Amino acid sequence: MADVEIIEVGGREVRVTNPGRVVFPGTGHTKLDLVRFYLAVGEGVLRGVADRPLVLKRFVHGVDAEPFFQKRAPAKRPDWIEVAEFKYPSGRSAEEVVGRDLAAVLWTVNLGCVDLNPHPVRAPDLDHPDELRIDLDPVPGVSWDEIVDVALVAREVLTEYGLTAWPKTSGSRGFHVYARITPDWTFPQLRTAAETVAREVERRAPDLATSHWWKEERQGVFVDFNQNARDRTVASAYSVRPTGLVSTPLRWDEVRDCRPEAFSIDTVPARFAAEGDPWADMDAAEGSIDGLLALAKELGPRPRAPKGTGRRQSTMPLIEIARAETKAEAEAGLERWKARHPEVAALLQPADILTDSMRGRSSAWTRIRINLQHVPEPMRPPQEPLEVDYDPWQGHRPE
């Protein structure tokens, strides 16, 4: 195969370098396979990213290696790649690539992007989001049917408060429910509305759902509202995930019987060609979050820890096991810890192992903690030196 493949799309030419490079070692799918996938579902892809600034999540060594995150658009880019200055809560800003057309999408894929991560705003108005996103994040041990049950409750809440709910698989273990809104509110208002959805879902399904922010306090499915904060992005519709599965829009009548593994880089193009995009009418279904903001006032603020007590102290008996550059290194450290404490490890439940993908300066890293809540107090080991002690900020701190 040639070192460069030229793809013509929308009157533009996109250079795909090293098209035969394997991106998915487990299946053998190449960069060109990924480009062809996005071409096949292009209309649906653009519905999720059109006019939105994108954070570039680049897997330059394939999906088995850790990606790095790039907010700023590369200085060397075609003159038809548009950028928009997105401002972050830190006070910093970045000129980010705007997903204006399919050529721009394919150009990011050539850079190593596998999934697409847009902000819930459109250029040029980057201060008023037009999308509410609910990310259902199950703790380990939760079944797919339970996740679906929570998704149906989320739909019920959104519908009752005047919004049209749009479901999709996440391409991983979770599930996403979106709602289009008119761009009349700020990010803090959007996050409040999303948190209100989470609290109401938890109230209606307390045995299934949680809105508790702290991971060690969660049981069941976490209704993640913080994906609506200004600095957060979510994999968009028809994004191929590192799993090889696709974050696939669905009709509500197929949600109950769906299975995420049915929607892959191999199967979704045929589905799209045969059935079209279930989200085709999404842009005509803008709604208001006024009802949710009114409910937020009725509920009042959540109880908070007393001020002046310093750093938050967990209510759970937590110990930290590893901070690692890669998930594989962190998990290897966990296995070493289990080998030293076999009696303790035998008492742990799946949800007691807390694995967090943490965002560093430009790349993700992995932290593993253990909740010893199911271990009798006399048996609980103390905090020990970390099995892996990676510092993601090394070299970036001021002297």
Task: Give the CATH number of domain 128-305; options: 3.10.20.30, 3.40.630.30, 3.30.70.3300, 3.20.20.140.
Answer: 3.30.70.3300
Residue range 173-200: average pLDDT?
A: 96
Give residue for tokens 């396979």.
33
Q: What is the pLDDT of residues 42-54, one digit of tens each?
A: 999 999 999 999 9
pLDDT > 70 in the chain, percent? 92
Residue range 69-96: average pLDDT?
A: 93
Q: What is the pLDDT of residues 202-248, one digit of tens each?
A: 999 999 999 887 666 668 899 999 999 999 999 999 999 999 999 99
Q: Which residues pair with 84 in a beta bridge?
A: 96
Burial class (CB in 10 A: 0-12, 13-18, 19+), 366: buried
CATH of domain 1-126: 3.90.920.10
Q: What is the pLDDT of residues 300-343, one digit of tens each?
A: 987 664 444 445 566 788 888 889 888 888 889 888 988 898 88
In angstroms, the CA 153 to CA 204 distance is: 8
Alpha-carbon distances, residue 115 vs 151, 280, 283 (angstroms): 22, 20, 22
Domain residue extents for the chain: 1-126, 128-305, 318-389
Q: Please say if the pLDDT value at position 18 is more than 50.
A: yes
